[in-house]
Amino acid sequence: MKQSMKQPNLVVAFLSLLITVVPVAAQSNSASRPNPQDDKGFTSYAEFGGSSDSDGRVFELDSSVGYNFTKHFGMDMGVPIYFVQASSSTTGGSTSNNGLGNPHLDVRLKFNNPAFNFGSVLTGSAPTADSKKGLSTGRATFDWTNRFDRSFSRFTPFAEVGIANTIADSRLFKRPYTSLGFNTHFQAGGNVDLWKFFSAGASAYDILPSGQQTIFSKVVKSQETTGSADIARDNGYSAWLDANPTACLDLELGYTHSAQYALNAVSFSVDVNLGHLVRKGSRQ
């Protein structure tokens, strides 16, 4: 039975919450950043973002705190909060719900050199969230992503490769499901600096699962599907526009097309570097 979609405007409400959190310098997001490292010392990010497609809307307030021990090595931890609104056209007992996601711990490496830059992040998540809401798999998960990039004037091509036992969300696609099962994932594309603090980019991605896979829907109540690798296979492409008006603020609008699921997702994110604000304030 479909539930009513008449709920308070979550985007406005939690953008207000984010603005409130910034001066307090609470926590931050990290899992969506494959390789950035701040100055040595305390780090903290807060990100509010979401995706909207024909299955519904998934909003995420993600935060983390951490520490960079050197310019090459750092760690952080955090926990996301999800706000899910199922589409009115979704069948099978569609639902809208909120809840905590799995807490995560990230270990990061970064090495820059004239030939290319290399970044690596290993993320582990504890299965504390509700799998009946699709916010967890009920199992511990990991993702190990490696990124290579090099800048040529205004253009920076990049390539990513990783292995995982879940399909992780990205800043451009908050998926309407959570998955459990081994996969190898790839992404390649580029980013170009347009004007002042504006940039744009595009990429293609491919997710290649192997073995048994289980899908936990975020938009259909208590729907759990187990099957072969085909049920989790995905590929598609993304495009985005970024704005970095200050050193501590990153704004992004994006679009992702999933060929496997025939989904067209529009996304946004607001990312605040709280650690930078704290360090800047301490120097004044």
Report pLDDT for 282: 66
Closest CA to 175 of 138, 121, 146, 216: 216
Which residue has tokens 């807490």?
A: 103
- What pLDDT is stored for residue 275 in this prediction? 82
pLDDT score at 278 = 76
Q: How many CB atoms lie within 10 A of CB 272?
A: 24
Nearest CA to 46 out of 75, 74, 72, 14 is that of: 14
Q: What is the model's pLDDT at position 75?
A: 96
- Domain parsing of the chain, residue ranges: 10-283
How high is the pLDDT of residue 1?
A: 33
- The sign of the dihedral angle between the CA atoms of 246, 68, 29, 239 is positive
- Residue 260's closest CA among 213, 221, 190, 223? 213
Token pair belonging to 111: 């090495």
CATH class of 10-283: mainly beta
Give pairs for 69-72: CB < 8 Å, separation 24+: 69/40, 70/40, 71/37, 71/40, 71/110, 72/37, 72/109, 72/110, 72/111
Question: Which pLDDT belongs to residue 20?
Answer: 37
pLDDT at residue 32, rounded to an integer? 38
Q: What pLDDT was estimated at residue 221?
A: 79
pLDDT, tens digit only, all 284 positions of the chain: 333 333 444 444 444 433 333 333 333 333 334 334 456 888 999 999 999 999 899 999 998 999 999 999 999 999 999 999 988 766 555 667 889 999 999 999 999 988 999 999 999 999 999 999 999 999 999 999 999 999 999 999 999 999 999 999 988 899 999 999 999 999 999 999 999 899 999 999 999 999 999 999 998 878 899 999 999 999 999 999 999 999 899 999 999 999 988 899 999 999 999 887 777 666 66
- pLDDT, residue 93, reads 56
pLDDT at 154: 93
CA distance between the termini of the chain: 57
